[in-house]
């Protein structure tokens, strides 16, 4: 289409077939002439709204940026549709460099790639952010990470390396313990207690192997089926925060002991409605503008509670001693001075001794 910024496709053929293979978040189309000629390869990334649709030539979608016409009469068009234009294609058959093995089609390689590279700085981040790193989790997107973490019952803000190292140790211990167990028993045990990396494979498999297609924007019943399938992502009652990439992470509300792991800080550089996840793994709790205007006391309460909790934490060395001294001495002195000031003012008003 005229508005697309993707490259022109230098391919011409009277008759050709279109085939596809996917890997992670990419899909490769091969246009193969039925007669003489070399095939043309295109690698697609779908962005947030990209999809393929087969429709009559007279009913082309508004944002059909690439069209392949059939030879039938009247012809139909296989269209790459992308309303937001975040999707793209490029010429050639090579996958994008830097992407790891596919969580679906290359599960064992995917698993090994994660566990043997735990020293990588990507795993310094919270697990909810690491799951979107396509170098290691090729194919996992925003809704999948929410569903995976919810089912694994792993705190989304836990450091990724901590989660995965524990997983590695647990897996080795279980493998040693179950060395004499039959294969069918091992499969059953994995299904009953899947680990995080198992879920990175099994959860997306549920979507693509469902009896009814769960992703069809033109079919209201299918979209309803997808919403019913979701257990965490945009589900009412779940909590949400925004990570460093501007992506919203959905998760089950954390209990008190988990909130104790999070350092609450407030940054004036962020808009009042932004919820940000700092690189340390802590989260910033901010109050929306709407809430703060309507209920100023309720809006300030979380920050006050955070300050009180921060003050109650034990400190070391001189800082701890100074805090104790301030608490024990300064507060009573302020109260005494205030009382003396009120008494002096009263005396002056009555003309008692001590007034000028």
pLDDT at position 71: 87
**69 in a domain, yes or no?**
yes
Lookup: tokens for 50: 């990209």
Cα 330 to the center of its chain, rounded Å: 46
C-alpha distances out from residue 305 to 260, 299, 301, 302, 315, Å: 12, 11, 6, 5, 18
**37 in a domain, yes or no?**
yes
Radius of gyration, CA atoms only, the chain: 30
Residue 227: band (very low, low, confident or very high) from pLDDT cuts 50, 70, 90: confident
In sequence order, what are the beta bridge partners of 91?
Answer: 42
pLDDT at position 35: 87
118 and 83 co-located in one domain: no
Return the residue matching tokens 């008759």: 15
Q: Which of 16-20, 77-81, 157-161, 303-307 has the lowest mean pLDDT?
A: 303-307
Q: What is the mean pLDDT of the chain?
A: 74
48 and 23 co-located in one domain: yes
32: CATH: 3.20.190.10
251 and 126 co-located in one domain: yes
Lookup: tokens for 277: 């996840």
**99 in a domain, yes or no?**
no
pLDDT at position 246: 86
Q: Are 24 and 139 in contact (CB under 8 A)?
A: yes
Residue 312 CA to residue 305 CA, distance in Å, equals 11
**101 in a domain, yes or no?**
no
Residue 15 CA to residue 280 CA, distance in Å, equals 56
In sequence order, what are the beta bridge partners of 21?
Answer: 28
At 260-272, the pLDDT tens digits run: 444 433 332 333 3
Residue 312 CA to residue 320 CA, distance in Å, equals 11
Count of structural domains, the chain: 2
Lookup: tokens for 117: 């590279």
Domain that holds residue 38: 16-91
At 304-342, the pLDDT tens digits run: 343 344 334 444 454 444 444 444 444 444 444 545 555
133 and 246 co-located in one domain: yes
CA nearest neighbour of 134 among 23, 1, 263: 23
**327 in a domain, yes or no?**
no
Residue 131 CA to residue 141 CA, distance in Å, equals 8
The sheet carrying 88-91 orders its strands as 16-23, 26-33, 40-45, 88-91
**329 in a domain, yes or no?**
no
Residue 25 CA to residue 48 CA, distance in Å, equals 11
Q: Are 67 and 73 in contact (CB under 8 A)?
A: no
pTM of the full structure: 0.66
247 and 121 co-located in one domain: yes
Residue 111 CA to residue 137 CA, distance in Å, equals 9
**201 in a domain, yes or no?**
yes
Residue 163 CA to residue 155 CA, distance in Å, equals 9
Strand 26-33 to 16-23 pairing:
antiparallel
**194 in a domain, yes or no?**
yes
In sequence order, what are the beta bridge partners of 35?
Answer: none
242: CATH: 1.10.8.50
CA nearest neighbour of 31 among 61, 10, 55: 10
pLDDT at position 134: 96
Contacts of 105 (CB under 8 A, 6+ apart): 22, 23
Contacts of 1 (CB under 8 A, 6+ apart): 63, 64, 65, 66
At 69-103, the pLDDT tens digits run: 998 889 999 999 999 889 999 999 999 999 999 99
* Main-chain dihedrals φ then ψ at residue 82, nearest 5 degrees: -150, 95
The upper half-sphere exposure of residue 29, i.e. CA atoms within 13 Å in the direction of its Cβ, equals 22
C-alpha distances out from residue 131 to 42, 141, 243, Å: 27, 8, 12
pLDDT at position 319: 47
The residue-averaged pLDDT of 292-299 equals: 42
């Amino acid at each position: 289409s005229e508005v697309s910024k993707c490259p022109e496709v230098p391919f011409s053929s009277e008759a050709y077939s279109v085939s596809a293979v996917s890997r992670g978040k990419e899909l490769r189309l091969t246009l193969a002439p039925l007669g003489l000629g070399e095939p043309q390869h295109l690698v697609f990334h779908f962005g947030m709204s990209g999809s393929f649709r087969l429709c009559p030539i007279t009913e082309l979608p508004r944002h059909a940026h690439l069209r392949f016409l059939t030879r039938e009469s009247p012809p139909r068009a296989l269209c790459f549709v992308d309303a937001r234009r975040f999707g793209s294609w490029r010429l050639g058959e090579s996958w994008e460099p830097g992407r790891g093995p596919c969580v679906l089609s290359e599960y064992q390689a995917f698993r090994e790639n994660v566990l043997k590279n735990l020293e990588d700085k990507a795993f310094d981040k919270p697990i909810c952010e690491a799951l979107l790193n396509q170098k290691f989790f090729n194919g996992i997107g925003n809704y999948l990470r929410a569903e995976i973490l919810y089912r694994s019952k792993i705190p989304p803000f836990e450091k990724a390396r901590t989660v995965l190292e524990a997983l590695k140790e647990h897996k080795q211990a279980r493998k040693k313990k179950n060395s004499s167990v039959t294969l069918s028993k091992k499969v059953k045990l994995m299904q009953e207690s899947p680990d995080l990396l198992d879920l990175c494979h099994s959860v997306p498999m549920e979507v693509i192997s469902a009896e009814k297609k769960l992703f069809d924007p033109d079919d209201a019943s299918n979209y309803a089926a997808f919403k019913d399938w979701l257990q965490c992502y945009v589900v009412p009652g779940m909590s949400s925060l925004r990570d460093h990439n501007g992506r919203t992470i959905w998760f089950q509300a954390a209990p008190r002991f988990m909130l104790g792991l999070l350092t609450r800080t407030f940054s004036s550089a962020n808009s009042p409605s932004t919820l940000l996840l700092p690189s340390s793994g802590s989260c910033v709790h901010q109050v929306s503008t709407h809430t703060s205007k309507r209920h100023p006391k309720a809006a300030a309460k979380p920050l006050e509670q955070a300050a009180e909790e921060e003050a109650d934490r034990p400190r070391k060395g001189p800082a701890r001693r100074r805090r104790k001294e301030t608490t024990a001495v300064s507060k009573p002195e302020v109260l005494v001075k205030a009382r003396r000031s009120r008494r002096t003012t009263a005396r002056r008003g009555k003309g008692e001794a001590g007034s000028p």
